[in-house]
Amino acid sequence: MATDSWAQAVDEQEAAADSIGGLTLKEKPEANGTAAIATESSSAAAKSEVQAEKKPADEDDKDDKAAQSLLNKLIRSNLVSNTNQVEVLQKDPNSPLYSVKSFEELRLKPQLLNGVYGMGFNRPSKIQETALPMMLAEPPQNLIAQSQSGTGKTAAFVLAMLSHVEPNNKYPQCLCVSPTYELALQTGQVIEQMGKQYEEVKLVYAIRGNKLPRGTKLHEQIVIGTPGTMLDWCSKFKFIDPKKIKVFVLDEADVMIATQGHQDQSIRIQRMLPENCQMLLFSATFEETVWNFAQRIVPEPNIIKLKREEETLDTIKQYYVLCNSREEKFQALCNIYGAITIAQAMVFCHTRKTAGWLAGELSREGHQVALLSGEMQVEQRAAVIDRFRNGKEKVLVTTNVCARGIDVEQVSVVINFDLPVDRDGNPDNETYLHRIGRTGRFGKRGLAINMVDSKSSMNILNRIQEHFSKNIEKLDTDDLDEIEKIAS
């Protein structure tokens, strides 16, 4: 199956390499490092172009209107608790969190049902209710799925892996590949939480620094890691028997496909897997050429795809601020901090140098700041994320290395200190969406503020607005009343 179509598609793609340029991780995805890592451990839209089931548009218009009007009120209100908001969003047919099913209807094993409820999930999100029946079908079906950031994709494919595992078979059965060390760790934590009641199922991390003795045969059923180490474990060290793998997940699949090194490694892993191995590709974004490529490498895939106008979340309010220099941008940032209460913020810079400078300036202003960039050792990076997740620092200044996947519920504001651009200086729309998606997780409200400091960055912002058909409003950061309003 996949082997031929994947290889053929790769050859064709290499010939047209330049046409897949839009997505690149600008930071080294796997830094060198020697982390000692614990090795064992116990939302698509109703209008999607889906090969999936279509949800009934709706049975009760009145209820929807009432839910919508309540939702609008909630979005305006500062006082609402997130739980209520999520509940309302899950009743709104236009929300990516909407669902008609319950977790009981998704045919989950009792241990997993308990795990899901133990995590405080009451109902599945749209991507979960749509994707899970496809992923759990017999015989297994392949899936390429797109859903907005923070809508529960990770939980969806984690549930699929845990469901497919045969706990009595003490060898790897599911491989999950993530583009960065931090994301692999985070996904591992979700597996651990969700599989808490499923003690026979074990997890191992195939990430740099987790060195196993030669000749090791893994007994864990799920392996999560980054592509280079995962490939080494399958081919060079033979810790994993690829022929026994039933499920192969590519998280952040578009970047895995569009980044040359990741693509080569993922392809080499995939070529070793059996023909009937289920392939699951997930991301919040799929640039068109990458999407087409994905469809060629995954045989007979089920498809869950968003329309362009559905990619942005209405719960994330987007603004821009006009400045003339980086010092003015810094001042604007301080004004924002002076005017509104920010639980936690992530600030994205284009270069490590700017990130370092900005972190220093913010510290001098008395902020508790963390800095994370690609040149740091992986274990340092993991420690920084951990501290930030635990609220020890309130501001995380970073580069694109943190743009994807990182899930910290308390992030209420994302600042693009520099707008995301690709190597040619064109807007990097996908990275924009991933960056702002670090806030507004699972129905929470979020603010995204873009700093514009030149004609060319205004041009970038305009192109981003056009791309998503989304109006990004101007904000005057000298006007404290105006800033206060955006938070209300």
Residues 395/362, Cβ–Cβ less than 8 Å: yes
Q: Which stretch binds ligand ATP (CB under 6 A): 138-146, 148-156, 206-214, 317-325?
A: 148-156
Applying CB under 6 A, which part among 52-60, 124-132, 198-206, 422-430 lies near ligand ATP? Answer: 124-132
Q: Which stretch binds ligand ATP (CB under 6 A): 142-150, 174-182, 384-392, 473-481?
A: 142-150
- Does position 149 bind ligand ATP by CB under 6 A? yes
For the record, the structure tokens of 95 come out as 């929300």
- The C-alpha R_g of the chain, in whole angstroms, comes to 22
- 227 lies in the site for ligand ATP, by CB under 6 A: no
The beta strand positions in 244-315, using DSSP E, are: 247-250, 278-283, 302-304
Cα separation, 136 vs 380, whole angstroms = 37
> Site map for ligand ATP, 79-118, x if CB under 6 A?
----------------------------------------
Q: CB of residue 32 vs ligand ATP: minimum separation in angstroms?
A: 25
Residue 220, CB-side half-sphere exposure with 13 Å CA sphere: 21
Binding window for ligand ATP (CB under 6 A); candidates: 60-68, 152-160, 302-310, 369-377: 152-160
As beta bridge partners, residue 232 has: none
State the DSSP H helix or E strand holding residue 334, giving kind and residue range, or none if neither. Answer: helix 326-339
Residue 344 as a binder of ligand ATP (CB under 6 A): the answer is no
Question: Of residues 153, 262, 394, 435, which one binds ligand ATP by CB under 6 A?
Answer: 153
Token pair of 104, please? 């009981």
Window contacting ligand ATP (CB under 6 A); options: 130-138, 151-159, 208-216, 224-232: 151-159
**Interacting span for ligand ATP (CB under 6 A) from 23-31, 107-115, 301-309, 437-445:** 437-445
Choose the stretch contacting ligand ATP; rule: CB under 6 A; options: 147-155, 168-176, 356-364, 464-472: 147-155
Cis peptide before 139 (omega within 30 of 0): yes
Which residue carries 């620092």 as its tokens?
A: 393
87 burial type by CB count under 10 A (0-12 exposed, 13-18 middle, 19+ buried): middle
Q: Which is nearer to ligand ATP, 282 or 330 (CB)?
A: 282
Interacting positions 256-315 with ligand ATP (CB under 6 A): 284
Our finding on whether 385 is near ligand ATP (CB under 6 A) is no
How many Å apart are CA 156 and CA 419, to the nearest integer? 31
**Minimum CB separation from ligand ATP for residue 118, in Å?**
11
Quick one: 150 or 427, whose CB is closer to ligand ATP? 150
Specify the 3-state DSSP secondary structure of 336: helix
150 binds ligand ATP (CB under 6 A): yes
Shortest Å distance, C-beta 360 to ligand ATP = 28
Q: Applying CB under 6 A, does 435 fall inside the site for ligand ATP?
A: no
Q: Is 470 exposed, middle or buried (0-12, 13-18, 19+ CB in 10 A)?
A: middle
Nearer to ligand ATP, 55 or 441 (CB): 441
**Nearest partner of 257 among 300, 297, 301, 302, judged by Cα:** 297
Burial of 95 (0-12, 13-18, 19+ CB in 10 A): buried
Q: Is 124 an interacting residue with respect to ligand ATP (CB under 6 A)?
A: yes
Q: 340: which 2 tokens?
A: 């509104």
Instruction: Decide: is 405 part of the binding site for ligand ATP (CB under 6 A).
Output: yes
CA distance 23 to 431: 8
Question: Which one among 142, 151, 335, 457 touches ligand ATP, defined by CB under 6 A?
Answer: 151
Nearest approach in angstroms of CB 96 to ligand ATP is 9
Q: DSSP for 434-470?
A: HHHTTSSGGG--EEEEEEE-SHHHHHHHHHHHHHHT-
| Residue 354 is a binding residue for ligand ATP (CB under 6 A) | no
Quick one: which of 5, 24, 121, 480 contacts ligand ATP (CB under 6 A)? 121
Indicate the residue among 220 and 407 with the shorter CB distance to ligand ATP: 407
Of 246 and 404, nearer to ligand ATP (C-beta) is 404
Task: Quickly tell me which residue has 């969806």 as its tokens.
Answer: 156
How many residues line the site for ligand ATP (CB under 6 A)? 19
Sheet holding 143-146, edge to edge: 203-206, 222-225, 174-177, 247-250, 278-283, 143-146, 302-304
Shortest Cβ 435–ligand ATP spacing (Å): 10
Return the SS3 of 198. coil
Least distance between ligand ATP and beta carbon 154 (Å)? 3
Q: Contact residues for ligand ATP (CB under 6 A)?
A: 121, 124-125, 128, 147, 149-155, 284, 405, 407, 409, 437, 441-442
